Structure 1
């Protein structure tokens, strides 16, 4: 008899509840299920995590994050060296294109895509990601992360030095354009100097950054969010079946 049939509500939750009894105080256990749900257990019991519980807004409406290291206010002035969080990306959705003030690492647990602006080549490159693929993105590189699947996508994301409340966590095209205007003098000539994606934000040309982000936005509008292939959908079904067999009971 499944956990749903037995009244526990979520498949696997009853097994997590049993595991919670053996956890030492302070230890937390997460089960990231293939269909996008997240089960959580500690010494006090088990429950399903959701947007209304222990999740924060993650750049855009409908996207959520749960911090594991650091918090939303992490910054160079309030350091934790890096933030590490669990993210939930809505079905068939993409983040607003942006650039981070620090290095960015994302582990995808489903079928995703990452649009990246390749400055030396002057073009947008889309990288299709698969479950278990991890991508490392340099500081200030324009990009956007998308969920190609029809179910919520779990990701693990690490950022060096910045939490989502910091002004340099995710610089969008609108923000880059505002900064470009602020850097211009009364004569309308920009007095700052720099290039796109430089090692430090001090030397970033925000006009170029805004243009690159607008290119990613345009590609998203024209191409939309890529779909999963028949092979990927079959693999996702097999993965859900494997999770049902392997998960805690």
Structure 2
């Protein structure tokens, strides 16, 4: 990456996604490893980070970029707070991950294990949570249609769904200062959504997380990780 940096045309960027979870960035000015303290934003929960490639945190239907694409770094053996997105969601895992999804037809939580190179598509408003099963930071590539992290419908948690359900049923106004997982104020219920059912589904995923944890990697997966790091070291020099 460092050898290539000086040869790049102005405006061209390279991203090296390392098997250990790091991200090396290179442009014509040089190469460096990206770090949460400078190039990353908070990604739904404390300790999780995102670096936008397309769009930004303020993307919304009123301020469109059609989609947001970002690199995310998920902490070791951690999981996001269960949530649902206002738009469809694609996640490419570059490590050993898992996605807990609420299957409305079967009324149960389905746990989908993910390995490096597998991408999952999650439909609009489907309750889910993404977890890192490994002991090192996990890099993901995530794309969301229509919404950036600051939008009220980017990540609706169980607590937020319950608040919206109460507001929609006349149980109380949408209180000023109520905040979604994305960190933005929410004022209007999303039309056509049964927020009571959404909240119940998200609580089911929370219960499954407490029972199962993030999951763990197998012996074969840990061996594959070591071999992948060796292959990366042979193929690419930082």
TM-score by length of 2: 0.91
The answer to whether 1:109 aligns with 2:98 is no
> Equivalent of 2:191, from 195, 202, 226?
202
Larger radius of gyration: 1
What runs of 5+ residues in structure 2 fail to find an aligned partner? 173-189
> Equivalent of 1:224, from 189, 196, 213?
213
Counterpart residue number, 1:162: 147
The answer to whether 1:233 aligns with 2:222 is yes
- Map of 1:1-249 to 2, 5 A cutoff? 16-185=1-170, 201-248=190-237
CA RMSD in angstroms, aligned pairs only: 1.1
1:94 partner SS: coil
Query: For 1:106 and 1:155, how far apart are their aligned partners in 2?
Result: 7
Q: Aligned pairs, how many?
A: 221
Deviations 1:80-122 (A, max 9, x none): 0000000000000000000000000000000000000000110
Deviations 1:11-62 (A, max 9, x none): xxxxx22210110000000101000111100011111101011100000000
1:154 partner SS: strand
1:202 partner SS: coil
What runs of 5+ residues in structure 1 fail to find an aligned partner? 1-15, 188-200
- Ranges of 4+ aligned residues in structure 1 off by more than 3 Å: none
